[in-house]
Chain A
Amino acid sequence: GAVVSQHPSWVICKSGTSVKIECRSLDFQATTMFWYRQFPKQSLMLMATSNEGSKATYEQGVEKDKFLINHASLTLSTLTVTSAHPEDSSFYICSASPEQNRWQETQYFGPGTRLLVL
């Protein structure tokens, strides 16, 4: 149980294009979803937290107009990187929780999406 999938697993795009990454909870309803970014040799950094049907809450320093997050249903969240640039190349990981708290034991991570912007 508690499986989170991401699609695509990797993507290469040209600078200036937009890329959409999907995150799905396969066997539970995700009340809360999270998007993280991980650069090589660095820690996962939370980008934003979203609740189904609400606007995402972005962390300080994350451009909400560049990283569009949609949590339209209890099993799907999408992250769109608009006008991607090489510095956006990173490993993007989503996680999901069926609850609004107790995240220390109920946050389940997806396998990640590796984005390379040329």
Chain B
Amino acid sequence: QKEVEQDPGPLSVPEGAIVSLNCTYSNSAFQYFMWYRQYSRKGPELLMYTYSSGNKEDGRFTAQVDKSSKYISLFIRDSQPSDSATYLCAMSTDSWGKFQFGAGTQVVVTP
């Protein structure tokens, strides 16, 4: 079993819709949870990170962490075609710990 599971998609949504992404994990020691966006042939770019449980909002992006269920989510409101990319979740146990990545979900926002 992989430590981090993420549905690869593709997830296709119309422009303006809410994009809902999630990852599940098995290691209860994870404390830091990150979401990255990766455009084709580019490196991952940090969108948000969360420490422990709870919600965090930044503009159109909301990250949620439910440690009791070992489940994290990323919501993108008012999606735009420019949001079309692969979204990766990543987790670590410490601030100096190695990252465990999900496989990434490809998102396509259609005009």
| Interface set of A (CB-CB < 8 Å, partner B) | 4, 6, 9, 41-46, 49, 59, 93, 95, 100-105, 107-112, 114
20 contacts across the A-B interface (CB closer than 8 A) = A4-B43, A41-B8, A42-B103, A43-B100, A43-B102, A43-B104, A44-B101, A46-B99, A93-B43, A95-B43, A101-B95, A102-B95, A103-B95, A103-B97, A103-B99, A104-B49, A109-B36, A109-B44, A111-B43, A112-B41
Instruction: Tell me if B88 is interfacial: C-beta within 8 Å of chain A.
Output: yes
A100 to B95, CA, bound (A): 9
| Minimum Cβ distance to chain B for residue A108 (Å) | 8
Q: Does B109 sit at the interface, judged by CB under 8 A? A: no
Asked if residues B43 and A101 are in contact (CB atoms below 8 Å), the reply is: no
Expressed in whole angstroms, the Cα–Cα distance for A10 and B97 within the complex equals 29
* B4 contacts chain A at the CB level, 8 A cutoff: yes
CA distance A58 to B95 in the complex (A): 19
A112 & B43 in contact (Cβ 8 Å cutoff): yes
Residues 30-49 (chain B) with a chain A CB within 8 angstroms: 32, 34, 36, 41-46, 49
Which B residues lie at the A interface, using CB under 8 A?
A: 2, 4, 6, 8, 32, 34, 36, 41-46, 49, 51, 88, 90, 92, 94-104
A4 to chain B, nearest CB (A): 7
Minimum distance in angstroms from B91 CB to a CB of chain A: 9
- The 5 lowest CB-CB distance pairs between A and B, nearest first, are A109-B43, A101-B96, A43-B101, A104-B32, A44-B101
Query: Known: A104-B34, A105-B49. Contact between A46 and B98, CB under 8 A?
Result: yes
Q: A43-B103, A44-B99, A104-B95 are in contact. List 6 more A-B contacts (CB 8 A).
A: A43-B104, A93-B44, A103-B92, A104-B92, A105-B46, A112-B42
